[in-house]
Structure 1
Amino acid sequence: MILFRYLSREIFTSTFAVSLTLLVIVMSGRLVKYLAEAAAGDLSPDVLLSIMLFRVPSFLELVLPLGLFIGILLAYGRLYVDSEMTVMSACGLSVSRLAAYTLAPACCLALLVGYISLYVSPAGIAKVNGIFDSLEASSGLESVVSGRFRVDQKSGRVTYVKSFTNDKKLMKEVFTADPHISDDGRVQHHVILAEQGYIDIPEQYDARYLVMENGRRYEGQPGESDFQITEFAQYGQRLKERQVRKRRSERADALPLATLIESNHLRDQAALQWRISLAILVPIISLIALALSKTTHRQGRYVKMLPAFLIYIIYIVALNAARDAVEKGDLPLSWGMWWVHLVFLAMAIVLLYGGNWWRSLRAPKVGRP
């Protein structure tokens, strides 16, 4: 029991350190992407924190298995280099018992990964997709940053607001420019300059209006002198609600577990197998890491890192390929991703016991006198 607690502590310590490092790297890369979108005016800065928090579970379900894999390689590699594993073997610690000691914390982590992938991560993805859906279906003013021009790539609308009030409800010095095609096929621009503006939602209308006060409206074609200039004290412009072509909330990764189980769609069944596979992946890669962690003081603890990473990458790529094949109907649903786990489980067993089997086969047989 003392040995089990010692090995478990080494595994969990290394796994926590590696997983935390990987999580920071992954979140930093995604945050940079979102910040670039916010700087370009495609994403509201107010929702960045919410998006990152809701994406943490989906990051963890991928980071934790890799963190355990690297953690076992580092922890057991140190034990082999420091000859502690040699002492344990001399005291009667067999490969099978060491595998059992390794599988115990791996199964605990597999339960955690399974809970995250089956319940927590889909709920977080659904929240994030809901945020993106609302931004995509909105007028685009929610993502306007004061002091910067915001260009809507779909409609060509250009919006500029110099500043906002503290409650974000009133805009100061508003500029909008909308291209329109006239009846004769020419492109005309409607440019509005106003001292202030705000969003109004009348109770009697199911629509939103951008109300601007104390300004001018210019209508005409660039390069020509036939401009129409209108001064106004108050001007209301209806904001078109853009329809989302395919709602992200309906994607398989965001659907709850009960919906996937009841669905007969291949896409949903593939997503269900993928979520379960993330939990099954954990104990199998722990056995592979155990087999590849064996080293000597002369070789060092990092000598097998490269082949270990290659095996892990091939494992993940094979699962993704199997998921795509199931979604397209090229692979029977009964096979699904299970055959990938069986192949790598067989690989883990061969890596663990193959050397002993080979030595037993080559050992000379001594006959009885």
Structure 2
Amino acid sequence: MSCVMHRYLGRELLRYWLAFTLVLWLVLLAARFSLYLGQAASGRIPADTVLWLLGLKSVGIFVFLLPLTLFLALLWLLGRLNHDSEALALAASGVGPWQWYRAFAAPALLVALLVAVLSAWLVPQTAAQGYHLRAAAEQRLDASALAPGHFNFLRGGKWTVYARRTGTAPGSLEGIFIHVDRPSRPQVLVAQRASVETDKNGRYLVLGEGYQYDGRAGQSDYRRLHFKDYRIRLDPSHITVPDKQDAVPTPALIGDSSPAARAELAMRVARPVSVLVLALIAVPLARYRPAASRYTPLWLGLLLFAVYFNLLGVGHLWIEQGRLPAALGLWWVHAVVLALAAVVVFLHRRFAP
């Protein structure tokens, strides 16, 4: 295959890949944005953290999409070449399967390298920042994060806050109810109004004209106190960040022999490998008989991708639970998918009209 043909196929593949990536990325970002907006409306996170969380999450979504979008771009390009008889003309001029693989090897290797770098370095960093931001947001009680007329669950669900309505002053609330879940002595605060104030020591939620109830009603240590002003620190002094393996740096995972760390490391290795496996599958899968629909390989490809990544998820869980040896990793999934793809291609060619 000539260099001109290599450049032509590479340019067309890049065009389709960018189109698929952009469209699917925007769709998933819109879905995630809708989720964050719902959480902000219910008071689970402050509204000013929505875009930050979305930006951090977008990196992980992008890396997840890269193997799929390259696979779809290959199937679409090859399907178009078959439909327009360009592939038939190339085959008549002596272009065989190995020439197709040579043409797509460089793009597939570049995407695999990109996925490997992002999975090993950038995705853990953004995941850690996202968990920290989410934890800080959930532990931060802010009047701007409260939805009047609804129960809002803040600080990891330990605070239940209800505001009857917004106040006349900007950023103020009226009819405040706060329940603090404490195992030994639960606390309830009821106030007529609330507002946010800032001084040199930080930000505070100031409750006005209310009552504080400590303990359980009917017990000897139950107390009811009246207050004119009650100040609650909004900036938590200590932020508890959940321990998530996907936020652990790759060098730390390599030095950790726990099943959870081994499972996460296997998944980070599997992502770039999946790019090469899907590229290998795409060439024979995209070849169909003239009477068959040009979209048949695309639907078969989507089905194979769904099976592939579900198997990767199952394998990750089994390693984490100790049901599979860590040394085996997820290599068996790649072998199973290659075998399944070979069967699908054989049946497709054998029984297609």
Bin of the TM-score, shorter chain as denominator length: 0.7 to 0.9
Residue 119 (structure 1) shift:
0.9
Which runs of 5 or more structure 1 residues have no equivalent in the other structure? 166-170, 221-227, 359-369
Relative to structure 1, the CA distance from residue 142 to residue 324 in structure 2 (aligned partners, 3 Å threshold; closer, same or farther) is farther
CA deviation vs aligned residue, 1:87-140 (integer Å, no higher than 9, x gap): 1111111111212212221111111111111111111111110111112333x2
Residue in structure 1 matched with residue 167 of structure 2 by the alignment = 162
1:129 is paired with a residue whose SS is helix
Aligned to 1:265: 258
Q: After alignment, is 259-268 or 305-314 more displaced?
A: 305-314
Given the alignment, which residue of 14, 17, 20 partners 2:16?
Answer: 14
Match of 1:73 in 2: 75
Give the corresponding residue for 1:50. 52
Match of 2:6 among 4, 19, 23: 4
Aligned match for 1:29, one of 28, 31, 44: 31
Residue 85 of structure 1: aligned partner: 87
CA contact (8 A) 1:284 1:348 kept: no
Conserved 8 A contact 2:192-2:209: yes
Residue 216 of structure 1 contacts residue 231 of structure 1 at CA under 8 Å; is this kept in 2?
Answer: yes
Give the length in aligned residue pairs. 331
Structure 2 CA distance for aligned equivalents of residues 111 and 164 of structure 1 = 55
Q: Aligned letter for 1:344?
A: V
Aligned to 2:231: 236
Q: Residues 196 and 106 of structure 1: is their aligned pair in 2 closer, same or farther, counting only changes over 3 Å?
A: closer
Look up the match of 1:144: 145
| Residues 1:283 and 2:276 aligned together | yes
Q: Is the 8 A contact 1:194 1:216 kept in 2?
A: yes
Q: Which of the two has higher C-alpha Rg?
A: 1
Q: Corresponding residue for 1:193?
A: 192
Structure 1 residues 253 and 143 mapped into 2: Cα distance closer, same or farther (>3 Å)? farther
Residue equivalent to 1:313: 306
Counterpart contact for 2:53–2:130, Cα < 8 Å: yes
**Secondary structure, aligned partner of 2:327:** coil
1:178 touches 1:189 (CA, 8 Å); kept in 2? yes
For the Cα contact (< 8 Å) 2:56–2:126, is it kept in 1?
A: yes
| Residues 181-229 of structure 1: CA deviation (Å, up to 9, x unaligned) | 9xxx9x99542224754255759xxxx75445xx422468xxxxxxx89
Q: Which residue of 1 aligns with 2:96?
A: 94
The percent of aligned pairs where both chains have the same amino acid is: 26
> TM (normalized to structure 1)?
0.78
TM-score by length of 2: 0.82
Higher mean alpha-carbon deviation, 154-163 vs 26-35, is at 154-163
Q: Judge conservation of contact 2:264–2:316 (CA < 8 Å) in 1.
A: yes
Aligned Cα root-mean-square deviation (Å): 3.3
Q: Do the aligned partners of residues 83 and 163 (structure 1) sit closer, same or farther apart at CA in structure 2, a change above 3 Å counting?
A: farther
Deviation for aligned residue 1:151: 2.7
Matched, 1:178 2:178: yes
* Cα shift readout 1:53-79 (whole Å, capped 9, x = no counterpart): 111110011111111111111101010
Residue identity in the other structure for 2:56: F
**C-alpha distance in 2, partners of 1:102/1:343?**
23
1:224 maps to what in 2?
none
Preserved CA contact (<8 Å) 1:146 1:164:
no
Distance 1:237 1:175, change over 3 A: farther
Residues 190/316 of structure 1: CA separation in 2 closer, same or farther (3 Å cut)? closer
Residues 178 and 200 of structure 1, relative CA distance in 2, 3 Å threshold: farther
Distance across 2 between alignment mates of 1:136 and 1:148? 19
Distance in 2 (CA, whole Å) between partners of 1:315 and 1:173 is 51
